[in-house]
Structure 1
């Protein structure tokens, strides 16, 4: 289920980043970070935590989103 859900979760983060919707980016990234951490994907969890923290500060870090995209391989 996790692998199947990844493309949709990544798309939500990417779309919200492009739209400049910091709260939506933070929420989507935080959700993916939690799931990834629980299921043993610490690198994905870490980058998602960083994306969420940046978004909460109003920073939409496109480079981090690209890094996440590369990690997931979607």
Structure 2
């Protein structure tokens, strides 16, 4: 099942069951999608993530993982996480 089919199935089930509040409204549908593992992003955020992913692939291809500062960068990420 692809994402679109999955979302349709969740929406249909939420509407059929009346949702968590009994109305099957948009909030119920969004909550059900979230619980089923679907993440909703704006087109702008999605494009930004794709661009960042492409940039990371370029950095990795250029050998950034062999850079002396990679450990410091990893430590910073771990501190923020």
**TM-score, normalized by length of structure 1?**
0.31
Which one has a bigger Cα radius of gyration?
A: 2
Greater relative CO, 1 or 2 (CA 8 Å, sep 6+) = 1
* Greater fraction of residues in helix: 1
